[in-house]
Amino acid sequence: MTPNQLWHLGQALNPVSDPGANGIPTPEIEWEENGYMTEPHPGISVPVLDSPLSDHEMLELQDNINPLQHSDSFVCGHISSHCPVC
């Protein structure tokens, strides 16, 4: 099971009352403005990588794979059966 599924199962089997329901106000924390950051937010650096696929392989992949298609195996079997590179 995924972590989200386990969390939902845990909530269903052991429900927890709303912590704000006991009359004590729960402050909403602005994590970006909590005083711990002394510098501006650095952002995220994602390196640009060259694709390991040739142009022909990329076109074949795009023609054969529909990432939005329903799959009971999380697309694993679908991709490996149609993609000579996978």
Residue percentage of the chain with pLDDT more than 90 = 6
Digit-coded pLDDT (tens) for 51-67: 888 999 989 988 888 77
Q: Is 12 helix (H, G, I), strand (E, B) or coil?
A: helix
Tell me the C-alpha distance between 75 and 73, whole Å: 5
The pLDDT of 26-45, averaged and rounded, is 64
Q: What is the pLDDT of residue 57?
A: 92
Q: 10 vs 35, which has greater pLDDT?
A: 10
pLDDT over threshold 60, residue 85: no
- Segments making up each domain of the chain, as ranges: 53-86
The pLDDT of 26-46, averaged and rounded, is 65
Tell me the C-alpha distance between 59 and 16, whole Å: 50
- Give pTM, 2 decimals: 0.30
Based on DSSP, count helices (H) and strands (E) in the chain, helices before strands.
3, 0
Query: Contact 65/82 with Cβ under 8 angstroms?
Result: yes
